[in-house]
A and B are shown apart, each in its own frame.
Chain A
Amino acid sequence: MAGEAQTATDYIQHHLQNMAYGKLPAGYTRADGTVLSEPTWTLAHSSQEATDMGFWALHLDTLGWSIGLGLIFCFLFARAAKKATPGVPGGFQSFVELVTDFIDKLVKETFPHRNSMVAPMALTIFVWVFLMNLMDLVPVDWLPMAAAKAAGNDHLFFKVVPTTDPNATLGMALAVFALMIFFSIKEKGAIGFIKELTLHPFHTGKWYFDMLLIPFNFLLEAVSLIAKPISLGLRLFGNLYAGEMIFILIAIVFGVGVLGFIGAGLMHMGWAIFHVLVITLQAFVFMVLTTVYMAMAHHRDEEHEHDQ
């Protein structure tokens, strides 16, 4: 409902475009028809412009909201941690301790190795991803319209849910992947890690056979290794993107007469209630899978080495 002149397609497309900031080359024809005389760093005014900016562009809304929400998490939890006393805990401290304790127990169950970083990482992921997902429950037009009014630009792209941007979810998954590789090499050594990639899952115990199996093993292991971060990132993105999409579709129905308004209201409420589960579950899944991947990175296949 951002403007009567807009079609439903425009509305949806507008909602699915991030606020991209990047460089457009000289001689580029912009969305409004002007031609750039020299390379310019600017905000994209259309999806095509955002695509043409290539890799060297930033989604300001995604980064802004994710950093902002992350800072809220850090601020609240650090303050609770600083104020925490071993005496009778207050309301917010109790809540923080409840979450921390929940995560601590879960990580202790799934991650039996010694690494003081994994549990805090799980806490960060759970709360941060939950907060980012939570933005999905803010009605789809509120913040974008407010931002457009504030900026004085009706066509400002503004996505408030960072987890509906694959850059955000895959970015986090990439960091998890980097940590996986780092801890694999740290725990097993470079040789051990390469062995894991080349001598599993097929293993005969005779070196000439094993040599033949190396490419085959490597193909399987590499795929399964790379599939981990990609599935991790895309799962979160897909769930939230689909949820956001349905909120946008419901928002379109609001404009279709009185009946549409009532129907959309009911649908919106139903979907939002259901979505509360989805966003919590997705934050939880992202956290658990990260912990499991960390456990796998730390895991030494001891019995296999004994076979040799």
Chain B
Amino acid sequence: MNINLTLIGQSITFLFFVWFCWKFVWPPLLGVMKEREQKIATGLAEAERAGKDLELAQRKAAEQLKEAKEQAAEIIDGANKRSNQIIDEAKQAALAEGDRLKAAAKAEIEQEVNRAKEQLRARVAELSVAGAEKILSVNIDAKAHDDLIDKLAAEL
């Protein structure tokens, strides 16, 4: 319980430990703690920014989706119109083709008819010639035109 030199010894010890802590313990500890604090702060800020980015991207995606839908609807509309148009055109073409075919057929038929008429006419001429010859042979010279009449008969 006596006050003695221990007092001074303890003072020096105290100052030494304070100095040691001041120089070697406190600065690295606080440095590390500050660094971590900063890391966490930046991490949080980044997370917040990422959240914002995500929201933005979602909004953008929704917008794009909407646009795409609109475009698709437009395209479908156009396609419908176009298909109707094509069908109409095809109908018109078919009708025209039909008309043309009909006209051609008609012309051919007419041609055939004409030809038949021509043949018929030729035949009638021949027959009339033949008739005339027959009549003539009987009246004029049956023996002289025998060959001709035979030929005619064979042709008929």
Interface on A for B, CB 8 Å cutoff?
A: 16-18, 20, 22, 50-51, 53-59, 62-63, 66-67, 70, 73-74, 77-78, 80-82, 84-87, 89, 96-97, 100-101, 104, 116-117, 119-121, 123-125, 128, 162, 165-168, 170-172, 174-175, 178
Contact = CB atoms under 8 A, between A and B. Distances in A.
A28 to B, nearest CB: 16
B21 A74 contact: yes
Contacts of B6: 18, 57-59, 62-63, 165, 167-168, 171
Contacts of A119: 26
Given A63-B9, A67-B13, A172-B10, A58 B4 contact: yes
Contacts of B1: 16-18, 165-166
Contacts of B14: 124, 171-172, 175
26 contacts: A55-B5, A57-B6, A62-B10, A63-B6, A63-B9, A63-B10, A73-B21, A77-B21, A78-B20, A81-B24, A81-B25, A81-B28, A81-B29, A84-B28, A89-B36, A97-B29, A97-B33, A124-B20, A167-B10, A170-B7, A171-B8, A171-B13, A172-B10, A174-B11, A175-B10, A175-B15
B7 A53 contact: no
A74 B25 contact: yes
A167 B25 contact: no
Contact of B4 (A22, A104, A172): A22
B49 to A, nearest CB: 21
A57 B4 contact: yes
B97 interface: no
Contacts, number: 141
Given A63-B10, A121-B18, A172-B11, A100 B29 contact: yes
Interface residues of B, number: 32
Given A74-B20, A170-B7, 4 more contacts: A81-B28, A81-B29, A124-B20, A166-B1
Q: Which of B25, B28, B33, B39 has the most CB of A within 10 A?
A: B25
Interface of B: 1-18, 20-22, 24-26, 28-30, 32-33, 35-36, 39
B44 to A, nearest CB: 15
Q: Which secondary structure dominates chain A's binding surface?
A: helix
Nearest to A71: B17
Nearest to A104: B30
A78 B5 contact: no
B13 A66 contact: yes
Contacts of A82: 28
A214 B12 CA distance: 35
A76 to B, nearest CB: 9
Contacts of A66: 10, 13
Given A58-B5, A82-B28, A63 B22 contact: no
A80 B8 CA distance: 30
Given A77-B21, A171-B14, A172-B14, A166 B30 contact: no
Nearest to B23: A120
